[in-house]
Chain A
Amino acid sequence: MTADQGGWNRDYRALRPRTLAWQLVLLLAIEAVLFQRYDAEQARFHWSTHFLDALAFTSLVLLAWLSIAGRPGPRYPLLTLLAFHVYAIVPDLMFSEGSAHSQWQNVFLGHIAEHYLPGGAVAWLAIALVLSGTYVAALTVWLRGRWADTPNDLRGPLRSGSDPATAGNRRRWSFVPVP
């Protein structure tokens, strides 16, 4: 959790609220279209399974990135989730173009085999939530470390939800940011 002086923009670029916001809007819009397409084919189970599989895999990638690089990444985490989901459903796009499924299509995040996990979509939901929750826990630890490393004059006024790990600094947190 050592601060990398001189690399703040790089360290924080995956966490910019505005960037996350437009990614979220795009993700929700495209997922709504995909859900509607699968629903029209009476195949919601396939949307659920492939999305959750993509979420689980994305969580592993984000966790590995945070562990190895020491900072959150890649730059567009929600677009990464979308990209993995689209990758996972490539066989379905091929099917709609007239190509039957085949075992080799497991290269697309286990497109065929993943359906046979005992428990189906609910089991995938549990796996995806455990992995994404693990990533969020790791990211929270990283953020708390960064907040703890931040000089008091840069922390801004105390707001509800401030880090209890630095509660001893509460009085000093009342500073107005100094340019």
Chain B
Amino acid sequence: MTVASPIDQAQCSTGSPRPCPPPLRWWTPAVAFAVSAVVLSVLVIAFGTNNGPLDDPNQAFQRDGALHNGPQLPDRIGGIALGGSSVVVLFERRQPPGQTLAQWRAGATRSGSRLVVAVAGKPGTSALRDALGMRTPNDGGPPVGYAIVDRSRRVRYATLDPAYLDHASEVELLTAGLTGHAS
């Protein structure tokens, strides 16, 4: 059984006065579609998302990479002063190791932003989480990720990101993007 027409297409060259058969059997596209649909469905459903316990249930809201015009915050939340300069608020469940955090801080604050680490259970963290609109991860626990507030206290970015340590360059890119905006 072949998917291609058994006819030598050379005998059906341009100018042939007689109708020539197609180069594919009529059922070939349907079979190819069925196989592709199964493979693609498995690929997308089983491997097409990163959906761990600390990830966002709706992946659209995780690391969308765009600066938004979120709500404007008061000048102090949970004991943290806002305004004057942009602020990166890092949400974690435990205090990150000093060396690891130092490397991340270097990238996150390169554009002059301040870094605030909000550890779950510490005073002020819940207030910051609510004010910045941090979403709840799959496991229902406190968020692991970060938010960016510009110098006029407007929330520009808020995302869960359990692998934030690997993405310092993204924070650097986004905080650099605040420059030139009416921030």
Residue of A nearest to B14 (CB): A9
Q: List the B side residues contacting A44 at CB < 8 Å.
A: 47-50
- Residues A45 and B48 in contact, CB atoms below 8 Å apart: yes
With a cutoff of 8 Å between Cβ atoms, the chain A residues found around residue B12 in the complex are 8-9, 154
Residues of B within 8 A of A45 (CB): 48-50, 59-60, 62
Q: Is the pair A143, B17 in contact by a Cβ cutoff of 8 Å?
A: no
Report the Cα distance A133→B13, complex, angstroms.
31
Q: Find out whether the CB atom of B20 lies under 8 angstroms from the CB atom of A103.
A: no
CA distance A103 to B65 in the complex (A): 11
**Residue B99 lies at the interface, judged by CB distance under 8 Å to chain A:** no
Q: Is B100 an interface residue (CB 8 A)?
A: no
Tell me whether A150 and B19 are in contact (CB under 8 A). Answer: yes
**1/0 contact trace for B34-68 toward A, CB 8 Å?**
00010011011101111000000011101111110
Contacts of B66 in A (CB 8 A): 100-103, 112
Q: How far is the CA of A17 from the CA of B8 in the complex (A)?
A: 13
Q: Are A5 and B29 in contact (CB under 8 A)?
A: no
> Do the beta carbons of B30 and A136 come within 8 Å of each other?
yes
> In whole angstroms, what is the CA distance A147 to B27 when docked?
11
Q: Which of B1-28 contact A (CB under 8 A)?
A: 1-9, 11-28
Residue B7 contacts which of A6, A128, A177 (CB distance < 8 angstroms)?
Answer: A177
Q: Does A37 contact B (CB under 8 A)?
A: no
User: Are B163 and A115 neighbours in the complex by a CB distance under 8 Å?
Assistant: no
Query: B67: which A residues are within 8 A, CB to CB?
Result: 100, 102
- Nearest-neighbor residue (CB-CB) of B17 within chain A: A5
Question: Beyond A115-B64, A143-B28, A146-B22: 6 further Cβ-contacts under 8 Å?
Answer: A3-B19, A120-B59, A137-B30, A143-B29, A149-B19, A150-B21
